[in-house]
Amino acid sequence: MHLGVGTAMKRVLILAFTDHCRDPRVYRQLHYFKSRGYHITTVGKKASTLTDEHHTVATENPFLLKQLRRSALILRCYSLYSSLHPSVRSTHLSGEWDLVVANDLETLPLALRFSSPVLFDAHEYSPKEWEERLLFRLLVQPYRFHTCRQLLPKVSFMTTVCEPIAKEYEKEFGVKAHLITNATHYHALEPKKVDPKQIKMIYHGVAAPARSLEYTLEIFSLLDKRFTLDLILIPGDSHYIEKIKKKAGKDKRIRFLDPVPMEKIPELCNQYDIGFFPLLPLNMNYRFGLGNKFFEFIQARIAIAISPLQEMQKITQEQGLGFVGKDFSTHALAELLNKASSEEIFEKKQACDRVAKKFSAEANFAILDELLASTCSLSSPALSSTKQGA
């Protein structure tokens, strides 16, 4: 992509205290700004190959600072608590950028130190991220509500993953959040025929207790012998992975496979028939969840099997993409799948094919183009040069 003569390359600073090679949402941001001709500076645990300049952050404080930060949270000294975040403490950065992108609430105090316009990508609803946990509700939740009240009015604009969460931010804090889903890049794949004697299912995701993999395995245990299940568990809690493998036991229909690079997930899943993602509504973000894997299943052109979580249920049923249990009991989804014919499953795969472009990262990129141009007067360099040469 060539910039026009005399067009200055715009600079963006992306803050995300994560591994940018394994953080799908941040990875797509990098793709967006790279494709639009920006010079990219990143701050995080590990750099992607898409960045031009990277600053690695610390992930842990020394013991005394860790105790001091914990005390600051308990005493509600929130400015001190925020400043002692190990990644914030280890970031020593100066310069000027045309835009700063702050991913997740923990990066926002740092982002607002710069004079640049700030795009705050909230991802999900931070104040209720782990609301099912007592210590979170007692200690962390008040801090996050306080930080949102203090800082959200200062950002140039913000984005989040789905409409109900956007409405909650507006209701609670009076700020408008624009919708950028977790849709992955468009993949030119085709739905594959279904073998009626062997219906291949796949689950992939982070191995963590909150993902309720026991629930997933209980549903699968109720399915008839046509079904097989491959699980690709992203390393997280090693003890939990062992627990899940033990629970899977001697069921020869279940296999555990190694993870693949996230950009390869749709191609891998394309070899299957059903993307399996039953999840319990443990917190607000799960109730309204529209996770990466949901859109990866669409790009893979495979049918989707989920529990009745509001936003995924809405899209799945409106577009005819798969199977949604009538409630969260293990029997609800199992009964639907046991009744499904190979022809019906293939129809769901074809439905995913029809909407793959609509539910893609490229559709979100067009929204970002408009937001940058209208909210921050920051149309991309490539777009600007095109207009100048028109």
**Residues 133-155: tens digit of each pLDDT:** 999 999 999 999 999 999 999 99
Residue 6 lies in a domain: no
Angstrom distance (rounded) from CA 156 to CA 382: 22
Q: What are the distances in angstroms from CA 158 to CA 169, 170, 222?
A: 10, 11, 43
Closest-CA residue to 218 (of 329, 87, 347): 329
Mean pLDDT of 361-385: 77
Residue 191 lies in a domain: no
> Same structural domain for residues 48 and 127?
yes
Amino acid 234: pLDDT:
87
Mean pLDDT of 42-64: 96
Mean pLDDT of 46-67: 96
> Same structural domain for residues 347 and 365?
no
Closest-CA residue to 318 (of 329, 326, 310): 310
CATH number at residue 247: 3.40.50.2000
Residue 91 lies in a domain: yes
Amino acid 380: pLDDT:
52
Structure tokens at 120: 């705050």
Residue 313 lies in a domain: yes
Residue 189 lies in a domain: no
Checking if the pLDDT of 389 tops 60, the result is: no
Position 4 confidence tier, pLDDT thresholds 50, 70, 90: very low
Position 236 confidence tier, pLDDT thresholds 50, 70, 90: confident
Instruction: Dump pLDDT digits (tens) for 210-222.
Output: 888 999 999 999 9
Position 378 confidence tier, pLDDT thresholds 50, 70, 90: low
Render the burial of 31-68: b for 16+ CB within 10 Å, e for the rest. Answer: bbbbebbbbbbbbbbebbebbeeebebeeebeeeeeee
227: containing domain: 199-355
> Same structural domain for residues 230 and 173?
no
Instruction: Dump pLDDT digits (tens) for 80-96.
Output: 999 999 999 999 998 89
Checking if the pLDDT of 390 tops 50, the result is: no
Residue 88 lies in a domain: yes
Position 249 confidence tier, pLDDT thresholds 50, 70, 90: confident
The answer to whether the predicted template modeling score (pTM) of the entire model surpasses 0.75 is yes
In percent, the amount of the chain with pLDDT more than 90 equals 87
Instruction: Dump pLDDT digits (tens) for 262-314.
Output: 899 999 999 999 999 999 999 999 999 899 999 999 999 999 999 999 999 99
Checking if the pLDDT of 383 tops 80, the result is: no
CA–CA–CA angle 213, 208, 184 (5° rounding): 90
Amino acid 237: pLDDT:
81
> Same structural domain for residues 294 and 234?
yes
> Same structural domain for residues 309 and 244?
yes
> Same structural domain for residues 34 and 92?
yes
Residue 306 lies in a domain: yes
> Same structural domain for residues 153 and 235?
no
> Same structural domain for residues 347 and 367?
no
> Same structural domain for residues 28 and 147?
yes
Checking if the pLDDT of 240 tops 60, the result is: yes
Residue 107 lies in a domain: yes
Instruction: Dump pLDDT digits (tens) for 316-369.
Output: 999 999 999 999 999 999 999 999 999 999 999 999 999 999 999 999 999 999
> Same structural domain for residues 279 and 336?
yes
> Same structural domain for residues 50 and 95?
yes
Amino acid 376: pLDDT:
62
In angstroms, how far apart are the furthest CA atoms of the chain? 66
Angstrom distance (rounded) from CA 158 to CA 375: 10
Angstrom distance (rounded) from CA 227 to CA 221: 10
Amino acid 5: pLDDT:
32
Instruction: Dump pLDDT digits (tens) for 103-125.
Output: 999 999 999 999 999 999 999 99
Structure tokens at 329: 């009991």
The domain total for the chain is 2
> Same structural domain for residues 149 and 207?
no
